Amino acid sequence: MIAAAAIGFGATVVGALVGAGASIWTTKKAQESEMKRWYADYFLEKESQRMADLYADIEDCHYTLNRYGNAPPSEREVYEEEVSPKLESYIRSFRLAQIHLDDEEEEPLKELLGSFRRMDYHIIREMPDEEWNGYNPPQTDTDPWHEFSTDYERAMEVMEEILQPAALDNIEDNFGN
């Protein structure tokens, strides 16, 4: 009878240890899974925010360069307060977003940067010389307006695909939205 009690007690202890071990193992796996999910959410949120910032900076820079390309400021101070920061902001957003872009997405955005810089030079060339103390930005052989428009359109197509991928259309179709 004592032997049966010892066997029952031993089986209970072993069962409790196995149950505790299984509980610890599943808790650890759940924590690892939760950490992976947290990291994925964190980095996807960063990527989404960077792409949204890039989109906004493209729009803002394009609008500003278009405005001052048509009617250049007469004072350098206006240029430095209104135009230059928009280009700098686009460059910064583009650099931060580059890590998330593939080559096909990156190329039109690089070309847009070149067009933005040429338009920036155009604005400076159209301003009064005395505002720049003899600074003469690089000349280009082409009219900056055509590239400015076409490169902007191509870049916006890329950004729209990034921010609203066609794959989402299929999901919406499957759920009846």
Domain edges within the chain: 45-164
The answer as to CATH 1.20.1440 being correct for domain 45-164 is yes
CA–CA dist 97, 90 (Å, integer): 10
Q: What is the pLDDT of residue 168?
A: 56
Q: How far is CA 74 from CA 11, 78, 88, 145, 147, in A?
A: 91, 8, 21, 20, 25
Q: What is the pLDDT of residue 83?
A: 96
Q: Residue 86 pLDDT more than 90?
A: yes
Q: What is the pLDDT of residue 67?
A: 97
Neighbours of 46 (CB within 10 A): 13
Q: What is the pLDDT of residue 156?
A: 95
Q: Residue 131 pLDDT more than 60?
A: yes
Tokens of 47: 């990527």
Q: What is the pLDDT of residue 142?
A: 72
Q: Which of 12-26, 32-46, 93-107, 121-135 has the highest mean pLDDT?
A: 93-107
Q: Residue 174 pLDDT more than 90?
A: no
The predicted-structure confidence for 11-67, as pLDDT tens digits, reads as follows: 687 777 677 777 777 777 777 767 767 666 677 788 889 999 999 999 999 999 999
Cβ proximity of 63 and 16 under 8 Å: no
